[in-house]
Amino acid sequence: MDVYEMRGRLQVIAEEMAVSEDEEGEGDEEAFVVVSKRPVTSNPTASSNTFCSDCGTPAHSGQHTHHRVVPLPEAVQDIKADLGKSSSRLMEKISQMENFASNLEEIFITVEENFGRQEQNLEQHYSDVLQTLSQRNSENSTTLQDQKKQKLEALYGQLVACGHLLDTGKELIEHAQELHRCPNRNAFLQAVMPVIKRIEEFAKEEVELKVGVSMEFTTPAVDLNGVKQMMESINVVPAPSAPVMNPQVANSATTSSLRVCWSLFSDDTVDFYQLYCRQISEDITTEMEQDVSVRRVKETHCVVKDLLPNAQYEFWVTATNTTGISPTSERAVYMTVPSPPIIRPQECVSCLEAALVRWDSGNTNPVDSYTLELSEADTHSSVTESIVAIPTCECLVQLQPWTRYIIYIRAVNIGGASERSPPITISTTGTFFHLLKETAHPSLSVSPDGSTMFFLDEDLPLSEMVFSDSTFSSCVAVLGDLIPVRGQHYWEVEVDEWAEYRVGVAYEDTQRTSYLGANATSWCMRHSLTPSRHKYEFLHNGWSADVRITVQPLRIGVFLDYERGILSFYNSDLRQHLHTFTCCFHHYVLPCFALDKPGALTLHTGLTTPKYITHP
């Protein structure tokens, strides 16, 4: 019966007592009245309606003469009062027990929670202990079996010897009994003496009545220090908490290695860490099949090698001690250093004051930025100037005129900067540029070095021509990749004697369906052949100045000056000025070249601007 049930029972009893108290009082009165009608005896204790307080029983005549005897109703009232007081005390006790039981319930819940937390650690500890003890038992089992065998063999030998003695003694007793029953005295006397002698000799023999084998087994010596340490480690060293992966820091990687770091709470005890690594790939199939490598590490850092350049790797770690393994840390992404970029020399352009350097990333995955490093080639100086945080694969860098520079490019990500790219040498002695093949009319061919254009004497079917938004479709033309710097630029064009051509400049967005010089976005010098002469025109927006040239130029110099707003043409061989356009260029212009008939044009760049042009 629990506390709550006992309390309920007591409450019911108290209510029943309270209800029956009046009924019993009325019954007692009636009983007393009836009794009072009987003859009264001289001894009040002799009445059966009295109660002996000393004995605690109803009083009978002559049995309680010297005891305290009270009337039965009074005794009932006293007993009920005592019972009520006892019930009150018991109710208080029950209330205390209820509070105690509630406290026990809270403790019970706490114990359950603690048990749940410790059960796994205890199971692991005791499993290790039991495994160790099982190994010890296996090692010592053979020794105990040998002891058992030796003891049983010794006991069996003693048992056999004792059996022989018992048989001999029984045999002598039986023989003596037979002689005792012999009626012939002479025969008895003759036969009894040898028997008596044998009995005396047998009695004189000392019999070993002590067990020669100890019933105790010698416990083999066992080194249980390891087990003791394991037992003492229970509830002493908790399993580590989850480590925290540190974010990657700058300059912590190479193209094939990463230095990975993590942290742990100072109170944790760790024997070793398990570092997990997996490469991250944009290809879902490859990512699912990517193996996870595991490394066992003592410190909170590790250098992971044999990795791919500019690749993302995911790392996570667990900590282990004698108690167990920590939860897994959050995952962190690290990146190896990129591969060196690859500079595109044919697409790098320059002028007296600047250079536009272009390169390929050299990496499959995007990088954060690029760094351009340059130094003067002729001074052999180790001082290097750097331009950092370049977002794209090109950079316009300001330079000093008449200087040769060696330029390198590095790719940068969170892991650090790559090795230098192969260098390129750029000279600021003039304007360098090349022809833009992507703008050429399909009938044009451009040489690999981007300096010569050919219009072959072949009728290419229109169905075989491939046009795009950037290619010329009407005029057999191509644009040049002039550096976008508002300074002075000079280049020369070599032409054949019978070539019909257009040479000049145009805005980058000039109409590809229009002829050069026929619109407001292009300026050019045109040469065409008539039956009577060589005709030269200087066209802009379809209008040409009236200019007559008597000596045919085969090498044409083009001079562009943004500051003065002029575009001039020269016969370079004769140092002869041919014509100048005076205009205000609202945007950067590009060199333009066209062949109206099959032929070829050769571009010469990087030339020093002649003095007769800069200083007329």
Tell me the DSSP string of 40-74.
Answer: PPS-GGG-TTEEETTTTEE--TTT-TTS-EEEHHH
- Identify the weakest region by mean pLDDT among 140-154, 215-229, 291-305, 381-395: 215-229
Domain with CATH 2.60.40.10 in the chain: 244-335, 342-427
- CATH superfamily, with its number, for domain 342-427: Immunoglobulins (2.60.40.10)
Whole-number pLDDT of residue 279: 92
Whole-number pLDDT of residue 91: 78
From the list 277, 332, 284, the residue with the least C-alpha distance to 308 is 277
- Identify the weakest region by mean pLDDT among 7-16, 80-89, 387-396, 452-461: 7-16
Whole-number pLDDT of residue 258: 93
**CB contact burial 190-202 (16+ within 10 A = b; e otherwise):** eebeeeeeebeee
- CATH superfamily, with its number, for domain 437-614: SPRY domain (2.60.120.920)
Q: Give the rounded percent of residues in the chain with a pLDDT score beyond 90.
A: 41
* Rounded-to-integer distance, Cα 48 and Cα 297, Å: 97
Instruction: Report the SS3 class of residue 448.
Output: coil
* Rounded-to-integer distance, Cα 136 and Cα 132, Å: 6
Domain with CATH 2.60.120.920 in the chain: 437-614
Q: Which CATH class is domain 244-335?
A: mainly beta
This prediction has a pTM of 0.57
Whole-number pLDDT of residue 469: 85
Confidence band (pLDDT; 50, 70, 90) for 31?
very low
Write the pLDDT tens digit of every residue in 155-189: 787 778 777 777 877 877 877 777 777 777 777 77
- Identify the weakest region by mean pLDDT among 145-159, 175-189, 568-582: 175-189
Instruction: Report the SS3 class of residue 6.
Output: helix
Distance of CA 430 to the CA centre of its chain: 55
In this predicted structure, the answer to whether residue 398 has a pLDDT above a threshold of 90 is: yes
Q: List, in sequence order, every residue forming a beta bridge with 372; answer none if it has no partner.
A: 387, 409
Strand 576-582 versus strand 293-297 pairing type: unpaired
Q: How far lies 461's CA from each of 442, 471, 473, in Å?
A: 10, 17, 13
Token pair for 2: 């629990």
Write the pLDDT tens digit of every residue in 332-378: 999 999 999 999 998 999 999 999 999 999 888 889 999 999 998 87
